[in-house]
Amino acid sequence: MTTTHDFSVSDATGETTSLGQYAGRVLLIVNVASKCGLTPQYEGLEALHHTYHERGLTILGFPCNQFMGQEPGTDAEIQEFCRVSYDVTFPVLAKVDVNGPDAEPLFAFLRAEAPGDFGPAYGEFHEAISRLQPDVAPGDVAWNFTKFLVDRDGGVVRRYEPPVPPGDIAADLEQLL
C-alpha cells in the first residue's frame, strides 16, 4: 500500500528529500502562497508548529503559483518572505503544481486519498473561488492553503479546505499525537 512516506520531493534548494524521513511523525501538508488573502494562515501554521512539533508534528509547506499567480517568487524569495514576514520555522519546500498534468506526484496522491468537500457549505468563499476557478475538477485542490493531515504511518487522514483556519485542526492533531 502506498503512503506519503513513499514519495520524494525537492526542497527549496533543489535537493531531493524523502518523505520517508518523517515516518513516525504526524504531517500537515499545505500548499501555500505569499500573495493570497489567506497568507496570514502562516501565523496559525507556525503556532501549530510551535505547539505540537515536540510531540511529533511536522508541517510541510509547498508553495504553488497555480491560483491567480499568488506565488510568483523564486524558491529563494519565498524562503525570505516566510522568514521575514511570518518567522516561519517549519519546512517550506520547492514550488510545485498541485493540479493538472504537471502536478507534484505527492499532491496527486493526496488528492486521490482525500478528495475533499469543497462546495456550497463554504459559502461566499466557495462562490468566489467557483467564479475565479470555474474549471476545478472534483478532488482538485481548489485554492491555496488546502491542508492534508497525515498520520504517523503515512496514511492520509483528512483534508481541510482553504478557509479552515489552522487552529481548527488542533483537536484532530491531539487525537493523532
Q: Of the listed 9, 12, 28, 36, which one is catalytic?
A: 36
Q: Is 82 a catalytic residue?
A: no
In 3-state terms, what secondary structure has residue 145?
coil
Residue type, position 22, single letter: Y
Looking only at the bridges linking them, the beta strands covering 156-160 and 57-63 are unpaired
CA angle 136, 156, 109 (to 5 degrees): 50
Dihedral angle sign, alpha carbons of residues 82, 8, 48, 66: positive
- Distance, CA of 81 to CA of 39 (rounded, Å): 11
- Catalytic residue annotation: 36
